[in-house]
Amino acid sequence: MSRAELVTSTDYAHPRRPLPARLLNAAVALGGVAPLDATALIATARRATGLHDLGDPFFVKPLSVLVESIEREARLHPLGRAIMRGRIVSMLANRLRVEALYREHPEIDALPLPRPIVIAGLQRTGTTMLHRLLAADPRARALLSWEALHPAPLPGEGRGGSFRRRAESRGAELGLKALAPEFFAIHPVEANAPEEDVLLLDHVFTSQAPEATLHVPTYAAWLEAQDLEPSYRYLRRLLKLLTWQRGGDYWVLKTPNHMEYLRELLAVFPDALIVQTHRDPQATMGSFCSMVAHGRGVFSDEVDAREVGSHWLRKVSRMIDRSLSVRDGGAGRAGGASFIDVSYYDLLTDPLAEVRRIHAHAGTALSPEAETAMKAVLARDTQHRFGRHVYRTRDFGLSPAGIEEAFASYRARFAIRREKAEKDPLLEVQAGASGVGHKSAVAATLTGVLDLLRTASALAPLPAAIRLDGQTAMVTGANTGLGKAIAIDLARRGARVLLACRSGIPEAGEEIARVAGSRAVEMLRVDLSDLDSVVALTDELARRGEKLDLLVCNAGLMSVEGQQTAQGHDAMFTVHYLASHLLVRRLLASGVLPQDRRGTAIPRIVFVTSETHRSSDGLDFDHFGGFTPFGMGSAMRYYGDSKLALTTFATELARRLTAGGAPTVAVHATCPGPIDSRIARGAPALVQRPLSAVMRTFFRSPEVAAAPVIYLAAAPELAGDTGWYMHLMRRKTASPAAVDAESGKRLWQAGERLLGKRLEPATS
């Protein structure tokens, strides 16, 4: 495969690793790698160099915290541990050589450092492109990748020599390509190209680099509480050493890390020109999280994409807040510093114009030679040079609403435009039924088996670590089967769960509470085939002042013959559609389902429907709600009609609960797929026995089948979103009949006619 054909994986939990890398990892595992220990690592570096002085001992504590965090939390594979060990020893050896050079050449400390240009924008906002353009100016001095690995000359190189360092850096570049070729499609690391000076801060072991490449939450939290001015003083020390080796008119520095520590940076570089790049966070967060996940996959076989998303959403928010505090005159703002903002979109449109604007702000002009060199960089560094970077922001547990909430003030302050929404590869536009359809029980059973054999484009079940503490959920039909499994899962996640059921009181609730290990499970009696019972339930919830965060309309019924309810409707039609319509409308009207929340805090409603809605011939509005007796031969038809009514209602409800482009209550629907349940219990023995045998053999348990319901109910990446339809663990579109706006409007009006005064809230 050529570089241009490479496409990055989105299976972050299973990093792709070429065969040679897997073999090397196995070989290292056989040899063993000693645990990381700060004292031992320092001793190893001293033995390797024959030197002793490591300079300012400030670095010792960060190093100790880092290696302890790595040992406890990073879950490195053997090769990853060996690489990390080698890298730390190398940085310690660099410190030893730096101090030796300063002792030998005290004049280094007297070197002036002219005003630096510091690119301190967020990740994935064009910082690399801008850095390479500014660094192309012959007058500029930028840190090169080989210098970042070894800022001090290696033995035998002399003051200006670099052959060994370049060769080692080139070897590291080739090694990274062999270990993780996909990483270059995201962020190329080239030996002779400009590199981030965060790698110099690594020599004090106080940078964001470890938390971007390893799972080290203890270290990351500790670092945020530290004063890193000593780190920036050491950065200045290294820049002087590099200037002594190869000079320039001014330095061009770049790393998003500086946004978090502008106070410290400006205390050491008080006249710096800070360049901040800006881009739509909806576009950058997923891209950067993908880069982090791939980076962690170099060192570990265990990468938690959701943890990456949660950590870096908070971290990026902190970076913005801390940088704006300094810009607005907070502590540490230096009088000589100045700031200039660069739009990512302006940079793409006319990069040289933005470079000229930066130089004008710095009081310098852009020479013709510099422009020529910059044009060469633009011609070389084309998009997809090393492959295509593919990612989905939702894979990291991040919802569009959540990102918008986190960065709304940032977007407003810098008038950041919105990019085109990320295309979701998991959205499958499907109008027809899968398999052989659902026109009969046999066809539906065969289709269910075929659906289970498909695994492509499936979302992963929601991890147990996702919590619902402090939330109240109500599940209908929760005394058995799927509803019971849903209730247990929600209770295990810390939710207070109300079980709305007709039977099993209190035994089912007691069992659910015991299995879930919860004391917050309560059963409420309701018969969903009796509309007056639904009214009574909603009145009781309103009287108690309940506020639901989640409603799961799960109750379902499969009749083998027509059953007329007390109100004169078919039982399946009533349980699936009429009761759902009545229940939701009354809960909304009474405020039990609150509509005054916004963004990620809005309640969710999940309807458990069925793919059989695709087999319906359409809703008969001329005879809507009328009872027609039927037998087993027509049961699937009436079942499909009732599920079409429910799915259409879910779609229309999502429309009506959206105001100003944002939902006030989230509404989702799902077909959980074929379930080994008691749905065939009403069939004649001749049919029930073989059908039950097939279900036991091929269909999934309720606990497994609950996954799509739980995903829609609790996935953080869906917070503030609405209108999802899922089949099994795949996102799809419902049938054209179910999403048709005119049909949705007619259904709503027809339902109101049938429900009549029952829709009116109770009067006190």
The pTM assigned to this predicted structure is 0.89
User: pLDDT above 90 covers what percent of the chain?
Assistant: 74
For strands 730-732 and 117-119, give the pairing.
Answer: unpaired
69-95 b/e with 16+ CB inside 10 Å = b? Answer: bbeeebbbbbbbbbbbbeebbbbbbbb
Q: What is the pLDDT of residue 220?
A: 98
pLDDT at 435: 62
Q: Is the predicted pLDDT of residue 675 greater than 70, yes or no?
A: yes
Are residues 459 and 424 in contact, defined by beta-carbon separation less than 8 angstroms? no
Taking residues 553-578, report their average pLDDT.
93
The residue ranking higher by pLDDT, 126 or 694, is 126
Contact 205, 185 (CB under 8 A): no
Report the chain's mean pLDDT, rounded to a whole number. Answer: 90
Instruction: Encode pLDDT of 261-305 as tens digits.
Output: 999 999 999 999 999 999 999 999 999 999 999 999 989 999 999
Is residue 1's pLDDT more than 60?
Answer: no
Per residue in 488-540, pLDDT (tens digit) is 999 999 999 999 999 999 999 999 999 999 999 999 999 999 999 999 999 99
Label each residue of 707-734 as H, E or C. Answer: HHHHHHHHCHHHCCCCCCEEECCEEECC
> Are the C-beta atoms of 666 and 588 separated by less than 8 Å?
no
CA-wise closest residue to 383 among 625, 184, 657? 184
Tens of pLDDT, residues 329-369: 854 444 566 999 999 999 999 999 999 999 999 999 899 99
Question: Above 60 in pLDDT, residue 426?
Answer: no
Across 583-587, average pLDDT? 98
Domain 434-755 belongs to what topology?
Answer: Rossmann fold (3.40.50)
Q: What is the average pLDDT across 308-335?
A: 86
- According to CATH, where is 3.40.50.720 located in the chain? 434-755
Over residues 93-121, the pLDDT tens digits come to 999 999 999 999 999 999 999 899 999 99
What is the bridge-based pairing of β-strands 604-608 and 658-659?
unpaired
Q: Which residue has the higher pLDDT, 573 or 700?
A: 573
> Backbone phi, then psi, for 363, in 5-degree steps?
80, 25
- Where residue 191 falls among pLDDT bands split at 50, 70, 90? confident
Q: For the chain, where do the domains classified as CATH 3.40.50.300 start and end?
A: 3-143+194-413
Q: What is the pLDDT of residue 679?
A: 55
DSSP-assigned beta bridge partners for residue 669: 607, 725
Q: What is the pLDDT of residue 331?
A: 46
d(CA 213, CA 311): 12
Least confident of 121-125, 302-306, 633-637: 633-637
CATH code reported for the domain at 3-143+194-413: 3.40.50.300
* Number of neighbouring beta carbons within 10 Å of residue 386: 20
Indicate the pLDDT class of residue 459, thresholds 50, 70 and 90: confident
In terms of Cβ atoms closer than 10 Å to its own Cβ (0-12, 13-18, 19+), residue 464 is exposed
What residues contact 237, with CB distance under 8 A and at least 6 apart? 55, 98, 102, 109
Among residues 528, 441, 429, 428, which one has the least CA distance to residue 478?
A: 528
